[in-house]
Chain A
Amino acid sequence: MSEIFDLPFMQRAVAAGLMVGFLASYYGVFVVQRGMSFLGNGLAHAAFGGVALGLMLGREPLWIAAPFTLIIALAITWVRQRTSLASDTVIGIFFAVSMAAGIIFLSLKKDYSTDAFSYLFGSILAVSTNDLIITGIVLILTMLTLPLWGRWAYATFDRNLAITDRVPVEFDEYLMTALIAVTVVVAVKVVGIVLISAFLVIPAASARLLAKRFAVMTLISVIIGTTSVLAGLSASYLLDFPSGSTIVLIQATIFMVCFLAGRLLRIKAH
């Protein structure tokens, strides 16, 4: 079993997977508690537009997808803060535009390759050293913003209370959305565009079923996010299943266990 981690491509996949698992499950607690689960989906499709643009231009897709998704994410936040439109409506518009643009970019590419499929469904074989570097940069940025957890949590609980305590809520929303956008981009290789939103939502939702405090929810979510990647990548290698779907199915199983455990705890408490 342990020999699978001796293979260089598996080492890269595990390193990228652990970092992505940590990032997605950490930001996931804010996404879930702010009712923004659709944001992950929207940004994943924005990433598709960016990846397609990269493929069309013949450049490294993630280097193009990162700024492309970032711009879409900031545009979503900007329009949301300045209109009375619900956030899912705003996300839905940008989602469709990015997807439509992505399809046109791919159609313009002469030698229509299977490359796009590895981005749609994730492929551990595809994780390159370059990908590890980009993921590492996002991880460092996240570590630098860890001290902001308290004020992000405060604004997640009640935006107005946080503003009255002079928390720079608008700035924080841009910063957090930008970090979630780049997290989605770096998750593309391991999980695939189609399943990224599950990666953001399931660990945090499972943690919510067990935790009574937001700090504990964050911790449990990160534990689920990282361990499910390890288990999922091993299973994916041994069973020759696609990595993204295997990890997400393991996360879904953990969600079911948390759901049952949460109900049992509640029954015991009564």
Chain B
Amino acid sequence: MNAINSENLSLTIEGNEVLSDITCQVHEGEFVAVLGPNGAGKSMFLKVLLGLVRPDSGKVTVFGRKPEKVPPEWIGYVPQVKTLDSSFPALAIELVVTGLNHTWQRWISSTAKEAAIAALSEVGAAHLADRPIGALSGGELQRVYLARSFVRKPRLVLLDEPVTGVDTVGEKSFYSLLDDFRHKNKATIIMVTHDWEVATHNACHVMVLNRRLISFGTPAEALCDDCLKRAYGVSITPQTTYCPRNQPDQEDTHV
């Protein structure tokens, strides 16, 4: 069974077409990176998969069901860390436990605590368990959110522009954690990202969006020069930035 099946998906929000005629399939166990310029509808595509937004036309299924009918424990959602309300009084472990219980707990049972600590350990963040979420850095918070999604052993992990930062030496990188989880649990991963390097090296498939589906395939196929030109409107070949220090010394040339 396909993890995701999208047929002619279109979505309009306040008169603006955000997604148009998206047709694609994601197989179970794949790691798909979703790329595209700002405003391309990448996050909106995730919201459709999560059942947060209903498409205007077309059909989308997640494991053969309508997104809003999928049991929540099948999905591990990692939102953008910038959406966090850091004024909310909570400890990291409480956030992880919401992944298990689907509600906020007055107090945490010993079994829930054990499972949450195990999930935090899995992402190298057990030491953050009792820290207030408002005191965590972006990278730390990202790992806590990842633990929250892993703790329910989901079949599908959806990540919206993870901010991974630079990992401490000796720690597993954010992406290898995702990959380990995918292999161990045969999970499917769909990640919205701006990071091409990650898309090229970690994803088995890449989806390039700009309201329409520009390309979908292996990183080499989907990130072809023509596809990127169509998505971003310009050629994205890396260019060297002018920097005076790197230029030949001008005084020397006068002598």
Contacts and interface: CB of A to CB of B under 8 A. Distances in A.
Interface stretch (A39-47, A95-103, A163-171): A163-171
A213 B102 contact: no
A164 to B, nearest CB: 5
B171 to A, nearest CB: 26
B105 interface: yes
A157 interface: yes
A212 B103 contact: no
Interface string A140-170: 0000000001110110111011011111000
Contacts of A161: 77, 79, 98
A189 interface: no
Contacts of A163: 50-52
Contacts of B87: 33, 208
A151 B52 contact: no
A215 interface: yes
Contact of A212 (B89, B101, B104): B89
Contacts of A137: none
Interface in A115-150: 149-150
B90 A213 contact: yes
B79 A160 contact: yes
Contacts of B242: none
B210 to A, nearest CB: 24
Nearest to A84: B14
A201 interface: no
A208 B89 contact: yes
A208 B102 CA distance: 24
Interface in B81-134: 83-85, 87-91, 94-95, 98, 101-107, 132
B223 interface: no
Interface in A154-208: 154, 156-158, 160-161, 163-167, 208
Nearest to B88: A157
B50 A164 contact: yes
User: Which secondary structure dominates chain B's binding surface?
Assistant: loop
A164 B102 CA distance: 9
A216 interface: yes
A135 to B, nearest CB: 25
A50 B94 CA distance: 42
B103 A150 contact: yes
A34 to B, nearest CB: 9
Interface in B43-85: 47, 50-52, 72, 75, 77, 79, 83-85
B89 A211 contact: yes
Interface string A67-97: 0000000000000000010000000000000
B68 to A, nearest CB: 8
B79 A165 contact: no
Interface in A12-44: 33
Contacts of B79: 158, 160-161
A214 interface: yes
Contacts of A165: 72, 98, 102-103
A130 to B, nearest CB: 35
Contacts of B52: 160, 163-164
A217 interface: yes
B103 A151 contact: yes
A213 B89 CA distance: 5
Nearest to B131: A212
A164 B51 contact: yes
Nearest to A209: B89
Q: Closest 4 interchain pairs by CB?
A: A153-B104, A150-B103, A165-B102, A154-B104
Given A164-B77, A167-B103, A213-B94, 5 more contacts: A84-B14, A150-B105, A165-B98, A212-B89, A213-B91
